[in-house]
Chains A and B, each alone.
Chain A
Amino acid sequence: MTLILGIPVKQGMVMASDGQVTTGQVRAQAKKLKKLNENCIWGAAGDFRLFERVEECIAAIPESEKGEPLQDLWTSLRDIVLKCVGDLVSPSQGSEPCQAIFVFAEYRDNPRILYILGNGQVQWQANIAFAIGNGDVFAHALLHKYQDLIIEKIDSKLATVIAYKIIAETAEAISIGVGPPIDVWQLPPAKNLSKEELTGLEETYLGLRKAEIELFLKGVKS
């Protein structure tokens, strides 16, 4: 299970995910966001086997082709998803098709978000913050108060704080499926925040939590 969210900002996009993978009763950690090219990051919520298989297929796309805009690449990406879903279905055992949603977030001249479902259905979005996966309802609720600030008033740095805060708060709120370590990317160009930068975000998040409580208590006392 997974939580992935994306926040379009002035001149870019921020994407973040939790880092917990659950297989049966076993919990492990994994990076769930991947770089497609300097302008695009992708991830998926759902069956992790499918995510890994799609990742292998995307890695096999020639570099020259991988750098193309999503508008030119989306059919290839959809076909990869459909093929991988088909590969994981075992007709002899009558297994169910894998459930998954893939999201590709791109910034070139504008933000562009492409969703591909496990059944091949495709949807496009722009300029809207999104959350997919386990806990997406919590994340959407937490994102909602920032919606009016997006895109004009939120820069990339602030968006990394919001993204980190929402994933951390969701992970604390729900009982299973979402957990650390939190991963954050900025683009363009695609940049995965370092462990130290993520620790800086964690410190900021802890401070904001304290500040919220402090403000609340000040309000109650006054």
Chain B
Amino acid sequence: MSVVIREVLIMAFTKEYWILLVLKQAPLDRIHIMKALFLIWHRSGRNITDYFEFEPYLYGPCSFEVYSVLGNLQSSELIVQPPHSLPKWVNYYLTARGKEQAEEAVKKSLPKTVRLIEAVIDEISQLNFFELLRKVYTEAPDFAVNSMFRGVIK
């Protein structure tokens, strides 16, 4: 499903707000957050002011800034990630303060913006790694050009 509502996404949002809005819909790990933020941008005509800048990376679209913003949100105790000893994908969750901030972000958003985010999260939150990449690469093949996983997910 592709929802293009370019005009409603022009409003200036902090990058932290975008991640809070995404996590308000469902707890997600880093790879799902990254691809959700990309699809939001892609489906809004690739035109959102002061948004994350994506590049075709080794696993498809990537904005390294997403990682630093996630770090900021963790430091601010707006999101948490359960401790894990081995490297693996682990979901981020909103804290109580994070939920309050996410509600604030919703109030500042236009309903169409919230609906777009809901639609994207609804579509991807239950997808596994390969299903997720397949969806993103199909929608935005120009961002799959450097991916190491193109052969595996065909």
Contacts and interface: CB of A to CB of B under 8 A. Distances in A.
Interface of A: 157, 161, 168, 172, 180, 194-197, 199-208, 210-211, 214-215
A193 to B, nearest CB: 10
B1 interface: no
B58 interface: yes
Given A196-B64, A210-B129, A203 B30 contact: yes
22 contacts: A157-B58, A161-B148, A172-B86, A195-B67, A196-B68, A199-B64, A200-B57, A200-B67, A202-B87, A203-B30, A203-B31, A203-B34, A204-B57, A204-B148, A206-B31, A207-B31, A207-B129, A211-B130, A211-B148, A211-B149, A211-B152, A214-B130
Interface in B98-154: 129-130, 133, 148-149, 152
User: Which size bracket describes the interface of B in this complex?
Assistant: 20 to 34
Nearest to B129: A210
B120 to A, nearest CB: 19
Contacts of A196: 64-65, 67-68
Contact of B59 (A180, A194, A195, A207): A207
A161 B59 CA distance: 11
Contact of A168 (B58, B65, B87, B148): B87
B130 A210 contact: yes
Nearest to B71: A195
Nearest to B58: A204
Contacts of A157: 58
Contacts of A206: 31, 87-89
A204 B64 CA distance: 13
A195 to B, nearest CB: 7
Nearest to B57: A200
Contacts of B64: 194, 196-197, 199-200
Given A195-B68, A200-B67, A207 B62 contact: no
Interface string B8-48: 00000000000000000000001100100000000000000
Contacts of B31: 203, 206-207
Contacts of A208: 148
Specify which of A157, A161, A168, A206 lies most central, judged by the most chain B CB atoms within 10 Å of its CB: A206
B130 A203 contact: no
A205 B62 CA distance: 15
Contact of B30 (A197, A199, A211, A215): A199
Nearest to B60: A207
A215 B152 contact: yes
Given A168-B87, A206-B87, A207-B129, A200 B62 contact: yes
Contact of B149 (A168, A197, A202, A207): A207
Contacts of B89: 206
